[in-house]
């Protein structure tokens, strides 16, 4: 099955868990902001990502994963806005 793009965002309450979640996602997805990542995942990869995150967070934390569909549109505003970014690397193969 073809990988689909997903947006992962989180709000982690405790600094040590925050660092662990950030490091975990940084190895598997492309960071677009400190607590926001994007990745192309197959259904199996998505389930593995969810299982790994479930081991790192607790019920006071908030982790959300949004499916972006086949042709996502990204609009940005502000000083950090970058057009034409091509995502490369772990979890982001071919994401444009």
Q: In this predicted model, what pLDDT tens digit does every residue of 59-93 receive, in sequence order?
A: 899 999 998 876 666 565 555 544 444 444 444 44
Over residues 3-41, the pLDDT tens digits come to 998 999 999 999 999 999 999 999 999 999 889 999 999
Q: Output the CATH code of domain 4-67.
A: 3.30.70.240
- Which pTM was predicted? 0.74
pLDDT (mean) for 47-65? 93
Give the pLDDT confidence score for residue 2 in this predicted structure: 87
Q: Are 92 and 72 in contact (CB under 8 A)?
A: no
Give the pLDDT confidence score for residue 69 in this predicted structure: 79
Parse the chain into domains and list their residue ranges.
4-67
């Amino acid at each position: 099955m073809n990988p689909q793009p997903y947006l992962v965002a989180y709000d982690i309450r405790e600094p040590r868990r925050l660092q662990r979640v950030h490091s975990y996602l940084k190895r598997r997805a492309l960071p677009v902001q400190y607590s926001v990542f994007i990745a192309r995942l197959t259904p199996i990869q998505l389930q593995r990502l969810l299982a790994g995150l479930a081991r790192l967070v607790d019920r006071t934390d908030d982790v959300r994963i949004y499916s972006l569909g086949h042709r996502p549109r990204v609009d940005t505003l502000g000083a950090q806005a970058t057009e034409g970014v091509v995502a490369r690397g772990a979890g982001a193969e071919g994401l444009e």
